Structure 1
Amino acid sequence: MKISFLVRDLCHMGGVVSATQNLAGALAARHEVEIVALRKVRDESYFPLDPRVSVRVLTDLRKHSPTSDLDDPLIEVFPKVYPVDPAEKKPVVSRLAELRLLEFLATTDADVVVSSSPRNTIMLSYAEGNYLRVTQEHSMPSIYAKYYQGRLFKAYHSLDALTALTPEEVVSIGNQVPGVRNRLAVMPNCVPAAPVQSKSTNKVIIAAGLLKENKNFAAVIDAFATVVAKRPDWRLRIYGGGTEKANLRKQIETLGLHNTVTLMGPAAPVSPEFSKGSVFVLPSKREAFGNVIVEAMAAGLPVVSTDADHGPRNIITHGEDGLIVPRGDTAAMAEAILELVEDDERRKRMGAAAVRNAVRFHEPASCARFEAILHDAAARRALPTTATAQVDGMGAVHIDVGTLPPEGHGAEIVCRRTGRNPAEERFAIDPDGSAVVPWRGGLPEGTWELSVRAQDGNEVPLTVDGYGCDVRDLLNVPLPRQAGAPALELLLPHRGEMDRLRIRSVVRETHAEIDALDVDNESAEVAASVWGVAPGPGAVLEAVHRKDKERVLSFPVTAGEDGRITAVVDCATLVREHEGPEQIWDVWLRPAAGAERVQVGKLATDVLAPIGVFTFPRPVIRILPEPSRTLLAKVGRRVTRTLNGGKPAPRPVTKVEIRPYYTALSQLAFKTVDVAP
């Protein structure tokens, strides 16, 4: 198998570059592997790269290089598709790099293309090749910049597999982009074994990473001030470079720690430096994974780490190979460090456990884990992804996904309810690719998204085109349903976001279906059919205030034949109750005195969103306020008449518009709105 990894470049010291090179090297033992870099600005990477991995550079930005692209005018041009940071003064990734990347994606002979950065993932979504498309999220998409986050979430739908570093992040991405839950998998970073390991005898505490505010090295310096006060023979070394270096230096000097705390600068490789220490500390405020944790463990160091989301708790086994302390608790960090500093045997025992437990992140385990993800992605490729849906004369929905391949036999249609009350229902698929969602007891009320799930657990979402949902017979479904069943059971298949096949299910024991609504300046006459309950004495139509449920307006109901009713909503009553700028009244039927309310609306229809389809007149009512008869008001009117040349001042006029409409839940409502004079 040929696997291509997409990176921006290999020319900076970061965890993503390290993890990508490590995984590429691990896979190179059994596959043909290349790394495709959009740009190159220095001769060598900071991290070692397996010689079996080839590197393809799309733009060379080195002045001394014979293949330099600096004389190409497109180097100074911003890309058109690749997301650009609004703060960029000149392109980091140029139009030239973008064009060459698109050409690579269109012509590569790779079996798998893996994006290791969100912006490259967006580019990968435009590719037309027949290879597997995979993205590895090395951070937290929820915190990505807004200028590309939305495009990224849309791009996810074009991929065959997505990986995240921790189970928590898999859940987070699934909540943000529910349509890709079926293709998400946990893939921790690959971190190699350490060539040398600590003897746990040096009185040195190690911390390492980019010196930036989020890494919170100020906290470990504060904690060490407590440690060194009790154990003055211990030292702290901080490896790394970054924007916080000057602030950290000032903090060290202010605390008088310049003889015991050393800013060592960047080190590559860093494992030999770790072997010189006996304890490792990670003080981060946020840590999606934490390569340095595994590197330190592999070097035989027990780790003291903050409980930063979400990496450390997925790497460290508290009390066995390290200690996890709350974020922001410097005292707890100092106490944990002292536990290890003052107990030589425990420190050595936890260091040995760290070496054993780090194995699950080394090359063999990472390679097997990633190969399993690719296997599942290929298996999903064999499953059908498009479908048609047809409603029969009784309201059942017949799904057709086409003839299943042999490996797909035994697959099921999985229906998942969207929204706040998730649920799942499954229906068998025949070998010919057909399945039936029955109208009775098939799907509880809600909106459901449909997928195909194979026996091995692999799953793909189903999509439809504009002709994929045949609902002609839905208009002839006999309603209400027969006695002994909910009065209203109706399934409406439709095309949802990203062309996903969805079914809206409506299940009501009782319901009042609007037949007609006639509106004028005096009243709104409601005609409806009542199902599942017979209107009786004391039946009224109730308008319930949307925000204040205790405010209820009642209007008499006239019962006719076959459960039909009429009621007149008085416009003047709505206006009298109006309090600007607007308020909403939801309409219910109380079929008899003391009976439970029944929702009044428009549900027996093939119209998915009646709010924008069924429209009604909007009368505007003028209100002249009653003149006040107090003595002060009379004096005020006389003064106004005098100032107005003997003419009385015009009385203010209030205008209120009444807007009948169907809500998002297809319930009848009246909105009253102030109208500008």
Structure 2
Amino acid sequence: MTPPSGPARPSEPTGPSRTGNTPEEPTTVSAPLQVFGVEDPAADCIADSAGGITFDLDAPGVPDAPGDWSAALVLRRRGSDEEAEEFRLPLAPNGDGRLRAVLPSTVALPEGRWDVYVACADAEPRRLVPGLADLRSLVDRRPGPSTSPLAVRIPYATKHGNLSLRSWLRGPHAEAGDLRPGTRGLTGRGRLYRVQDPAAWLAGAVVEARLRRDPDVVVTTPAGAVTAEGADAQDFTFTLDFAEPAGHWQGGLDVWDLWLRGAGGTETARIARILDDIADKKQIFTYPAQDVAAPYAPAQVGPYYTADNDLAIRIDERPPAAG
């Protein structure tokens, strides 16, 4: 899939988010573990289509008998020191001097960024670096029918070269598809997951744009069924007129978060793009801003993906013409 082109967007504004963004990790690492040698230990990752991850580590000289070895893969949630925000997965010899740990899709790993460590005996856990990553099963992923929360985990390399895991746990979930921003508004397509009856849920559904600085301000637009070839009862489409959010703009930067509200108005799903192998969409899927004649002043409006891969639109002042 080729991401849409367009100028890079400025950094996401500060403010409340669904999961709480945390800063990038510190560069400090603990002392080396002798069993892994003097180099930083690396982990190969294999993702499965259900949301599970398998980690394989090189550990030359370890015994092949599981009873003779004790180690763990440690996942620590970024920005939290609480014991509850740590998961330990047993590491066991997998033959050929390798150790394996498995994170099943059935483990309810809370949303966030999880730094990956290896713990050996009484030594301090040590950060892992990325090895090979087989994420082919995540490309254009289409989860099967279920009402349980959707588990998504994507391993990635941090800016310091260490291994981390991005986790989402959502239900219901509205997966964003094609987006077409135009001079009048944003036309989008999506697919609904993790509801009992998607057709009934979408009948009369609306897309809500919620003003982040004042969540009581909401703009709605109908969400209709997709009639294109290959579409089914889970697919939906919408068109959001930029004039409505622009009418609330009073200068500066405004962000509107997009949600899908089901029939009856009781359940909502954040519109996001998480069902692929790209951990951070923000700098990859970029869209051109559109000029809007807002009542307050000339403005620019356009969609973007947040640091959590949620879909939002932003309204800002139109830059002065060059020259």
Whether the 8 Å contact between 2:145 and 2:193 is mirrored in structure 1 is no
Tell me whether 1:441 sits opposite 2:112 in the alignment: no
Q: Of 278, 284, 298, which aligns to 1:655? A: 298
- Separation in 2 of the partners of 1:508 and 1:532? 8
Instruction: Report the counterpart of residue 148 of structure 2 in structure 1.
Output: 485
- Separation in 1 of the partners of 2:293 and 2:53? 50
- Mapping of residues 20-59 of structure 1, within 5 Å: none
Whether the 8 Å contact between 2:211 and 2:254 is mirrored in structure 1 is yes
Whether the 8 Å contact between 1:417 and 1:447 is mirrored in structure 2 is yes
Tell me whether 1:425 sits opposite 2:81 in the alignment: no
Instruction: Report the counterpart of residue 416 of structure 1 in structure 2.
Output: 76
Instruction: Report the counterpart of residue 668 of structure 1 in structure 2.
Output: 311
The alignment partner of 2:42 has SS state of coil
Does 1 or 2 have the higher relative contact order (CA < 8 Å, sep 6+)? 2
Q: Of 203, 224, 247, which aligns to 1:558? A: 224
- Structure (1/2) with the larger strand percentage: 2
Instruction: Report the counterpart of residue 587 of structure 1 in structure 2.
Output: 258
Whether the 8 Å contact between 1:179 and 1:461 is mirrored in structure 2 is no
- Mapping of residues 190-201 of structure 1, within 5 Å: none
Structure 1 residue 421: Cα displacement: 7.3
Instruction: Report the counterpart of residue 133 of structure 2 in structure 1.
Output: 469
Q: Which runs of 5+ in 1 are unaligned?
A: 1-174, 184-376, 626-652
Amino acid across the alignment from 2:36 = L
Amino acid across the alignment from 1:381 = Q
- Structure (1/2) with the larger helix percentage: 1
Structure 1 residue 411: Cα displacement: 0.7
Percent of counterpart pairs with the same letter?
Answer: 28
Amino acid across the alignment from 2:76 = R
- CA deviation map 1:39-97 (0-9, x unaligned): xxxxxxxxxxxxxxxxxxxxxxxxxxxxxxxxxxxxxxxxxxxxxxxxxxxxxxxxxxx
When residues 421 and 595 of structure 1 are mapped into structure 2, their CA distance, relative to the original with a 3 A threshold, is: farther
Structure 1 residue 496: Cα displacement: 1.3
- Separation in 2 of the partners of 1:594 and 1:676? 39
- Separation in 1 of the partners of 2:61 and 2:124? 14
Instruction: Report the counterpart of residue 236 of structure 1 in structure 2.
Output: none
Structure 1 residue 180: Cα displacement: 4.0
Aligned residues: 276
- Separation in 1 of the partners of 2:288 and 2:160? 35
Whether the 8 Å contact between 1:469 and 1:495 is mirrored in structure 2 is no
TM-score scaled by length of structure 1: 0.38
- Separation in 2 of the partners of 1:664 and 1:462? 23
Whether the 8 Å contact between 1:588 and 1:599 is mirrored in structure 2 is yes
Structure 1 residue 401: Cα displacement: 0.9
- CA deviation map 1:214-248 (0-9, x unaligned): xxxxxxxxxxxxxxxxxxxxxxxxxxxxxxxxxxx
TM-score scaled by length of structure 2: 0.77
Q: Which runs of 5+ in 2 are unaligned?
A: 1-22, 227-231
Amino acid across the alignment from 1:490 = V
Whether the 8 Å contact between 1:463 and 1:500 is mirrored in structure 2 is yes
- Mapping of residues 327-346 of structure 1, within 5 Å: none
- CA deviation map 1:608-657 (0-9, x unaligned): 2111111223210235x6xxxxxxxxxxxxxxxxxxxxxxxxxxx94211
Amino acid across the alignment from 1:473 = S
- Separation in 1 of the partners of 2:55 and 2:90? 11
When residues 381 and 511 of structure 1 are mapped into structure 2, their CA distance, relative to the original with a 3 A threshold, is: same
Instruction: Report the counterpart of residue 401 of structure 1 in structure 2.
Output: 57
When residues 562 and 382 of structure 1 are mapped into structure 2, their CA distance, relative to the original with a 3 A threshold, is: same
Tell which deviates more after alignment, 450-459 or 517-526: 450-459
- Separation in 2 of the partners of 1:558 and 1:410? 55
- Separation in 2 of the partners of 1:511 and 1:388? 29
When residues 177 and 604 of structure 1 are mapped into structure 2, their CA distance, relative to the original with a 3 A threshold, is: closer
